[in-house]
Amino acid sequence: MASTIVNAPCTVPSVKGFETQNYVGLRPISSLRFNSGRTSTSGRSRGLFVVRACERHDGHVKKIEMSIEECEAAVVAGNAPEAPPVPPKPAAPVGTPVIKPYQLTRRPRRNRKSPALRASFQETSISPANFVYPLFIHEGQEDTPIGAMPGCYRLGWRHGLVEEVAKARDVGVNSIVLFPKVPDALKSPTGDEAYNDNGLVPRTIRLLKDKFPDLVIYTDVALDPYSSDGHDGIVREDGVIMNDETVHQLCKQAVSQARAGADVVSPSDMMDGRVGAIRAALDSEGFHHVSIMSYTAKYASSFYGPFREALDSNPRFGDKKTYQMNPANYREALVEAHEDEAEGADILLVKPGLPYLDIIRLLRDQSPLPIAAYQVSGEYSMIKAGGVLKMIDEERVMMESLMCLRRAGADIILTYFALQAARSLCGEKR
């Protein structure tokens, strides 16, 4: 047990008249001698006593405390309590050159020298509240694994989905976005199934809202899951994607989703003018409270491959370069952002995420609106594959990639890692 030795003269009021035998933790020490050079008139050294912070007595701990005045008096008298010595300077390895330290005014490493300091000065934080969990749903009752996306499934909308949402909520992820695998028999060139009020997505929304009323549900507004051509819009016979006619369909889809209870509708189609048209359609139906998260800068990327396998929604012909953005373009993102802001978007999204950190930062610096980033299927699958092959530490790379998206300026991140990352943040083992 640690002890504090106070070498206090008997004339100090704080200790005068102490009967040490009457106090637990105070005992006379005859073997010690007062070394201040002073002696009493009788020539004997003045008595010393030991003050212990606590003492076990009959199995109980009793504390003996000195008043502030008594402690101050002891210090003033030159009898400050002892403290541990300054630790010796650690030795350098043999052969280290002996040099005169550089005269550096600024040494940034000083603020990184301990975990506590690094945590104090960390500029970016991440929590489960920053995640939106993309979930694939289908009409079946069984959950079907997605080969190109390890750990992801097409979830049965009545059972598997509900269980997955419950798991996510348990670790603080309370926002999801739904992507449906629509039966081929319901697909058509005009994607009419997209606004069927009793379709897969509206039914799922109603079910989730019944079970989890405070769950935040984002929906995807686009025709590709419902199109027999696999494109985000209506395809003319010469292969041109028809803009305004597609927007008309998207407005009906967004209203149908809002009617079912969606909190945020998310047009991912990249048609011109669709944000303003959807805002007007929602407002005209009384859904002023429903937000719009626009896929503002959605690039014609090769990172989407696993997603299209998940929904079986690959274009039947051609590509999506006439409506999705050129990966080589930077300033064009500002054009899209300014249009979406002017048309009433509530959130601006960049897709993909990690390869487009510069675009996330650009929108963050130029817009007051919340910025979302989509860590897409290709990003997810590469990290998973690298982890399986032991080429990287999956957990660390996952968290680093998410932190980078936050650092670039994303307020929320759509990520298939949402559940796994939230568990990691909460300290759970995978």
Residues with catalytic annotation? 298, 351
Contact 8, 15 (CB under 8 A): yes
Pick the closest to residue 280 from 306, 309, 303, 251 (CA basis). 251
Q: What distance lies between CA 222 and its chain's CA centroid?
A: 27
> What is the spatial distance between Cα 399 and Cα 395, in angstroms, rounded to a whole number?
6
Pick the closest to residue 265 from 273, 274, 330 (CA basis). 274
Q: Which residues pair with 325 in a beta bridge?
A: 299
At 131, the amino acid letter reads F
Pick the closest to residue 6 from 30, 31, 26 (CA basis). 26
Residue identified by tokens 């330290």 is 101
Q: Are strands 175-180 and 131-138 parallel, antiparallel or unpaired?
A: parallel
Going by the DSSP 8-state scheme, the letter that residue 88 receives in this structure is: P
Q: Which residues pair with 295 in a beta bridge?
A: 349
Q: Are strands 291-298 and 264-267 parallel, antiparallel or unpaired?
A: parallel
Pick the closest to residue 190 from 138, 265, 250 (CA basis). 250
